[in-house]
């Protein structure tokens, strides 16, 4: 029994209990590690206290198109949308941003991807799954970020444009 492995002397029930205990320890330590890495977002007050709400932030309404923070980011809305109706029957955004109205309004046209169904097939009108604009596009508010952003654009990292050699 000198060269024999100690785990072979354990019964099946003991091996199962040992495996369960080990998995609980590993899962618990991973959860604790994640909890310590998450920044505190709830503020100084205890979460269930009744405190006065912060004033509603002012929307940025300068009509200047903003640079996107990452590839494929939906553009933010650079104007006020207060009072806009977005329902099954009405979409005020499309009165300016739909392809046939952009020349008169001067607004940028919605992407051609908004005219495709989920199979990539082109449609004559805006796809029903792209009809509710504020599901992806949001107005920009003039507020401080909740968490510091350390994102760096490829240009800031020194990556040259293709063909600039």
Transcribe 56-87 into DSSP letters.
PPPB--S-PPPPPSSTTPPPPB-S--TT--BS
Q: Is the pTM of this model over 0.75?
A: no
Same domain for 66 and 114: yes
By mean pLDDT, which of 31-35, 78-82, 87-91, 125-129 is the weakest? 31-35
CATH of the domain at 135: 1.10.1130.10
- The answer for residues whose C-beta is within 8 angstroms of residue 91's C-beta and 6 or more apart is 85, 126, 131, 132, 133
Same domain for 143 and 96: yes
pLDDT of residue 136: 92
> Looking at the 3D structure of the chain, how many domains does it have?
2
Whether 49 is in a domain gets the answer: no
Q: Look at residue 114 and tell me whether its pLDDT is greater than 90.
A: yes
Give the rounded percent of residues in the chain with a pLDDT score beyond 70. 84
Write out the residue range of the structural domain in which residue 148 sits.
Answer: 61-165
- The answer for residues whose C-beta is within 8 angstroms of residue 111's C-beta and 6 or more apart is none
The residue whose two tokens read 């800031």 is 156
Same domain for 127 and 68: yes
Q: What mean pLDDT is predicted for residues 100-113? A: 91
Same domain for 119 and 79: yes
Whether 25 is in a domain gets the answer: yes
């Amino acid at each position: 029994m000198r060269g024999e492995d100690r785990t072979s002397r354990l019964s099946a029930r003991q091996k199962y209990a040992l495996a369960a205990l080990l998995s609980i320890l590993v899962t618990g330590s991973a959860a604790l590690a994640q909890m310590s890495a998450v920044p505190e977002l709830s503020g100084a007050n205890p979460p269930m206290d009744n405190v006065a709400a912060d004033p509603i932030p002012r929307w940025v309404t300068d009509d200047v198109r903003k640079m996107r923070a990452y590839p494929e980011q939906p553009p933010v809305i650079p104007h006020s949308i207060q009072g806009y109706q977005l329902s099954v029957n009405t979409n005020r955004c499309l009165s300016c941003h739909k392809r046939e109205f952009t020349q008169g309004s001067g607004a940028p046209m919605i992407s051609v991807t908004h005219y495709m169904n989920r199979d990539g097939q082109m449609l004559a009108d805006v796809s029903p799954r792209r009809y509710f604009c504020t599901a992806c596009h949001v107005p920009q508010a003039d507020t401080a970020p909740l968490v510091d952003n350390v994102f760096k654009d490829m240009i800031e990292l020194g990556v040259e444009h293709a063909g600039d050699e």
